Structure 1
Amino acid sequence: MQEIEIEFKNLLTKEEYERLAVHYIKDSSEIKQQINYYFETNDFELRSKRAALRIREKNGEYIATLKQPVENGLLETHDVLSAEQFDQWLQDDINLPPNINKQLNEIGVTGDQLSYKGALQTNRFEEKNDQYIIVLDHSQYNQTEDYELELEVYDYEYGKRLFSELLKKFKIEKRETSNKIARFFATVKK
């Protein structure tokens, strides 16, 4: 399965996160935990191609996702893994599933080049409607903690306008914000 992801993101201070949480989160049971497990070659070949590979564990399911840049967004290629396959990947026994294998072949990366690099845990709140998804994330990884606001949309121009309005409404400074994978790998020792 493939989809185009269009999202806007902004790192938050703890105080900004708490202000948004008071506004959006009505019940702490709305916050769900998810864990992202990241994979890369030893020479960071995926990063050099601006791609990234993760497995997300959520509600007992394991979804492998390859992210690749496209105009105004990311192409996400997904494959569902069994618990056994997931365990094998963590042991660097990576047998690529069909959709991701096809995409990686196109950029010249094979499963035996990949290895497990670590995990990022996120407590996530999502508010969905027909036009967008607002996401509040509190993430922890490699002795690092951060807070983030994301807005996922189907239309780039609409999302750009709405995100700007959100930041203004909550008096949040616009910050250049890389994605979680980039932030994670910035804390990994080569």
Structure 2
Amino acid sequence: MNQEIEIEYKQLLTQNEFKALLNVFHLTDQDFIRQDNDYFDTPDFNLKAARSALRIRHRREQSMLTLKQETEGGMLETHQLLTQEELIRLKQDGRLPEGDVAAVLKPLDINPHAFQFLGTLTTYRAERGYKAGLLVFDHSVYLGIEDFELEYEVKDPKHGNEAFLQLLHSNHIALTPTKNKIARFFDRKTQLGGL
């Protein structure tokens, strides 16, 4: 089964803070890659109630289905590559293909054939290695708004948190609570009356 625990720290940034960090890390427009995230849930939002989320990420002509589940140690991600036919069936008919994601959902008693497409979030992403982790610079556009975010993906939470806080401090960026992209997407969709 293709699974991993994702440990990351994140911070929403102003556009000016984002641009300043791009300069610090010598990133230009050419370093960014576009990826589109399609989000799904059941009509009764069973995944959201289970503190989970389902997305398809389209990047470099591949479509990866990912189930994200909150755990104490980080976000458990289950990945499954989709064929074009499976992608169409999920978006049009709400039917998950057989495989790892459906197998993980089975014990949660969530019907794998009752999903609805909620919308798309487009991210322009650049990445840089930093200390013992990976810095991710995201400019996201969704439902009529855009935001800027810095993520730091690590294997060691203690040292990762210290390095992230030090980076923010050295660039005069105040740490604020930051929701993940899926939560921000849901909040905006609710704000627009779509949920």
User: What is the TM-score of this pair, normalised by structure 1?
Assistant: 0.95
Number of residues paired by the alignment? 190
Counterpart position of 1:170: 171
Q: Which moved more, 1:21-30 or 1:47-56?
A: 21-30
Counterpart position of 1:146: 147
Q: How far, CA to CA, are the matches of 1:23 and 1:130 in structure 2?
A: 15
Which residue type is aligned with residue 86 of structure 2? Q
Deviation at 1:89, TM superposition (A): 1.5
Structure 2 stretches of 5 or more lacking a match? none
Alignment of 1:57-96 (within 5 A): 57-96=58-97
Task: Write out the 4+ residue segments of structure 1 that deviate beyond 4 Å after TM superposition.
Answer: none
Equivalent residues of 1:64, 1:78 under 8 A apart? yes
Equivalent residues of 2:121, 2:185 under 8 A apart? yes
Counterpart position of 2:30: 29
DSSP-derived class of the 1:86 partner: helix
Equivalent residues of 2:4, 2:78 under 8 A apart? yes
Equivalent residues of 2:86, 2:97 under 8 A apart? no
Structure 1 stretches of 5 or more lacking a match? none
Q: How far, CA to CA, are the matches of 1:106 and 1:168 in structure 2?
A: 43
Q: Which moved more, 1:144-153 or 1:22-31?
A: 22-31
Deviation at 1:90, TM superposition (A): 1.6
Deviations 1:129-168 (A, max 9, x none): 6720001100000001100000000011011101110110
Equivalent residues of 2:141, 2:147 under 8 A apart? yes
Q: How far, CA to CA, are the matches of 1:125 and 1:56 in structure 2?
A: 16
Deviation at 1:103, TM superposition (A): 1.0
Equivalent residues of 2:35, 2:123 under 8 A apart? yes
Equivalent residues of 2:94, 2:114 under 8 A apart? no
Equivalent residues of 1:25, 1:125 under 8 A apart? no
Q: Which moved more, 1:125-134 or 1:2-11?
A: 125-134
DSSP-derived class of the 2:58 partner: strand
Q: How far, CA to CA, are the matches of 2:84 and 2:130 in structure 1?
A: 32
Deviations 1:87-142 (A, max 9, x none): 22221342333110111112111222211100000000101367200011000000
RMSD: 1.3
DSSP-derived class of the 2:93 partner: coil
